[in-house]
Amino acid sequence: MPDEAFVLFMPSGRRGRFPVGTPLLQAARSLGVDVDSVCGGRALCGRCQILLCEGEFAKHGISSTTASLAPQSDDERRFVAQGGYLAPGRRLACSALVRGDVVIDVPPDSQVHRQVVRKRAEVHDIELDPAIRLYYIEVQQPDMHDPAGDLRRVLEALEFEWGLSDLDGCDLYVLTRLQKTLREANWCLTAAVYEGRRIVAVWPGLRDRVYGLALDLGSTTIAAHLCDLSTGDVVAAGGAMNPQIRFGEDLMSRVSYVMMNPGGDAEMTRAVRGAINALAAEVTAQAGIDLVDVLEVTLVGNPVMHHLLLGVDPVELGGAPFALATDCALRLSASELDLTLNPGARAYVLPCIAGHVGADMAGVVLSEQPHLTDAMTLVVDVGTNAEIVLGNRQRLVACSSPTGPAFEGAQISGGQRAAPGAIERVRIDPNTLEPRFKIIGCEHWSDEPDFESAISATGVSGICGSGIIEVIAEMYLAGIIRSDGVIDGSLASRNARIIEDGRTFAYSLYADTADIRITQNDVRAIQLAKAALYAGVRLLMDRLRIDAVDRIRLAGAFGSHIDVKYAMVLGLIPDCDLNYVTSAGNAAGTGARITLLDRRARDEIEAVVRRIEKVETALEARFQAHFVEAMAIPHKSASFEHLARAVPLPAPSLAAAATPATTGRRRRPRRA
């Protein structure tokens, strides 16, 4: 047995080596991993429950098995014997001892700080025409002179009273309870009809409310909006971390998991379907309704999420030509996806655009409608794999760009996902080089008198995506970072926050209860991510033979919360009048909600998607050239005239002529 073992905690991605026999709770605390415990590690409170992830994790070179942890301890058995609940497969971190290399998932309910899922229902005008409609009818009673069955009598009543002449019958579930329902209600009932063709549910008497669920399946988070199909109102909303994250923080890590672990795709399918069911139960409880009141669900997601939800092996998406099993919209029974809603509930999955441009981007297009405007519109859904659409009513082109998880806090030394305590806003005085910042969950800036007392419950725990963008952009504007991305160590004589960090330098943002610094490697990770995104945009501009865009919309949870000015300062997006650079919010979720409430939108997006031309970055020779130039901040050669009028930009540094990508061989970033 080795003396030390490698421990990786998900979803934070924090890792380290520890002596064999170290309790997991101790390892977690030494790494700053968010694991709850009230009893001080005495196996009394049960709040530190974790889950061992079994399988081959090729990205990290780890084989994680049950033998990686010591067997269940006496303390854990005593906890259960005394009435404590330990969910199947879970262990108590305070009692589970490390024996070998291991991957550990920290479930949301075991975290001190509940994750903030930043997706909401955007304000959007939608014409109400749902696929599910309710019809109240009075059915003629049978008699000895008319042998027609009860279903035929219902169909005749729907045609006579509502003009529904093209019905093709009902689901078997409806048929099994039809006779009882009719007699219980004295031959009066309400029928739910799907797309004007099929009866999917019946209730005795009058019923005037049914509900639908719009779901956005992100690689990191899942967002749900419960809508009243009779009014279009969002009556409840909720979000959850995607449990698949324990198999890998980015999409290709999950595809790799499937390649290395036979049956891994089915495992991830069960995980995401279970999370959807839990989220559906949460939002229906919020609204005070039952799950059987939900009769339809619409879903969007990137291609890997799309395939795993459907139970399709995503391995083909792991390499060229990135073939989809289907790019068509799907109309399914919700029960085929193991969703525990009304037995007659239907599911509509929006179409995918191409290999790594998925149904989520189709939802964004439906929400933002670039195909209906003359303005040259750039729409970017920023995530671990950025999806990009550019064009107008004349022509639309699309691509995906492998940005990786840096924008969400992964691969950043002090990075974390958005949660209370995470730094989300940063300002640096260009004269003193002193910072001030805001954290999630506190309205005060760090230099305000009430800040310390206001953060007593959360503390300052790390820096999230929007904070990373702002701090690096502010460091550039203050002259701490040169345009080539190098932290200027000569400024250490001006301010002690610029500190030596091996052979490079770092900027100390906060060093009180946590050591949060921006290292040279952090800057490089963001440069790689933003250069990949910009290069993808530039390829689309080349395809349309344009040098500028009229309008930019940033979609997604991350895109919703970054300051567009700082995104442009960093060179994440091309130059544009800042008045026309705005956040689209959770546009993918809005697209799902539009298709839930307006069935005609389904035909619209299915037609538009067929018009979108896909540009494959892996095949474009110009990608690498664009990528190299985009490594500079904001860019090596592109003019940012609009930005320069709004923000005083530093003069280009002498080192800018040799950007990081030109000073040595640099690999093309792999697809996230």
SS (H, E, C) 605-645: HHHHHHHCEECCHHHCCHHHHHHHHHCCCCCCCCCCHHHHH
* The pLDDT of residue 651 is above 90: no
Does residue 176 share a domain with residue 228? Answer: no
Does residue 218 share a domain with residue 239? Answer: yes
What's the whole-number mean pLDDT along residues 199-210?
91
Does residue 318 share a domain with residue 218? Answer: yes
Q: Which of 110, 140, 163 is the last residue of a domain?
A: 110
Does residue 236 share a domain with residue 193? Answer: no
pLDDT of the residue at 654: 46
pLDDT of the residue at 83: 87
Which tens digit of pLDDT belongs to each residue from 513-523? 788 999 999 99
User: In what side-by-side order are the strands of the sheet with 498-501?
Assistant: 498-501, 504-510, 516-518
Which tens digit of pLDDT belongs to each residue from 521-536? 999 999 999 999 999 9
Which tens digit of pLDDT belongs to each residue from 22-32? 999 999 989 88
Q: Which of 349, 381, 416 is the last residue of a domain?
A: 349
Does residue 343 share a domain with residue 262? Answer: yes
Does residue 337 share a domain with residue 238? Answer: yes
Cα 437 to its chain centre, rounded Å, is 25
Which tens digit of pLDDT belongs to each residue from 209-256? 899 999 999 888 899 999 999 888 999 999 998 899 888 877 888 998
Cα Rg of the chain (Å, integer): 27
Contact residues for 80 (Cβ-Cβ < 8 A; gap 6+): 86
Contact residues for 607 (Cβ-Cβ < 8 A; gap 6+): none
Lowest mean pLDDT among 390-404, 503-517, 649-663: 649-663
Q: Are 571 and 633 in contact (CB under 8 A)?
A: yes
Which tens digit of pLDDT belongs to each residue from 430-451? 999 999 999 998 999 999 999 9
Number of compact structural domains in the chain: 3
What's the whole-number mean pLDDT along residues 582-607?
93
Does residue 228 share a domain with residue 199? Answer: no
Lookup: tokens for 77: 């058995």
**What is the percent of the chain where pLDDT is above 90?**
66
Which tens digit of pLDDT belongs to each residue from 552-562? 999 977 777 78
What residues pair up with 203 in beta bridges, in sequence order?
190
Evaluate whether residue 188 is within a structural domain: yes
pLDDT of the residue at 112: 65
Evaluate whether residue 422 is within a structural domain: no
| Residue corresponding to tokens 């895109």 | 559
Evaluate whether residue 40 is within a structural domain: yes
* The pLDDT of residue 281 is above 90: yes
Please return the burial class of 127, using the count of CB atoms within 10 Å of its CB with bins 0-12, 13-18 and 19+. Answer: exposed
Please return the burial class of 565, using the count of CB atoms within 10 Å of its CB with bins 0-12, 13-18 and 19+. Answer: middle
Arithmetic mean of pLDDT over the chain: 89
What's the whole-number mean pLDDT along residues 21-48?
86
Does residue 337 share a domain with residue 267? Answer: yes
What's the whole-number mean pLDDT along residues 11-25?
91
Q: What's the domain range around 246?
A: 211-349
* The pLDDT of residue 321 is above 90: no
Q: How confident is the model at residue 1 (pLDDT cuts 50, 70, 90)?
A: low
DSSP tag of 669: P
Q: How confident is the model at residue 113 (pLDDT cuts 50, 70, 90)?
A: low
Lowest mean pLDDT among 263-277, 325-339, 485-499, 615-629: 615-629
Q: How confident is the model at residue 125 (pLDDT cuts 50, 70, 90)?
A: low
CATH number at residue 154: 3.10.20.880
**What is the percent of the chain where pLDDT is above 70?**
94
Which tens digit of pLDDT belongs to each residue from 500-514? 999 999 999 998 878
| Residue corresponding to tokens 């490079």 | 504
Evaluate whether residue 639 is within a structural domain: no
Does residue 194 share a domain with residue 280? Answer: no
Q: Are 429 and 423 in contact (CB under 8 A)?
A: no
Q: Which of 325, 349, 373 is the last residue of a domain?
A: 349
Evaluate whether residue 44 is within a structural domain: yes
Evaluate whether residue 319 is within a structural domain: yes
Q: Are 535 and 635 in contact (CB under 8 A)?
A: no
More confident residue, 110 or 596: 596
Q: Are 41 and 25 in contact (CB under 8 A)?
A: yes
Does residue 220 share a domain with residue 185? Answer: no
Neighbouring C-alpha atoms within 13 Å toward the C-beta of 132: 32
CATH number at residue 233: 3.30.420.480
pLDDT of the residue at 616: 86
Does residue 240 share a domain with residue 296? Answer: yes
Does residue 194 share a domain with residue 216? Answer: no
* The pLDDT of residue 576 is above 70: yes
Evaluate whether residue 250 is within a structural domain: yes
pLDDT of the residue at 360: 94
pLDDT of the residue at 114: 56
Evaluate whether residue 513 is within a structural domain: no
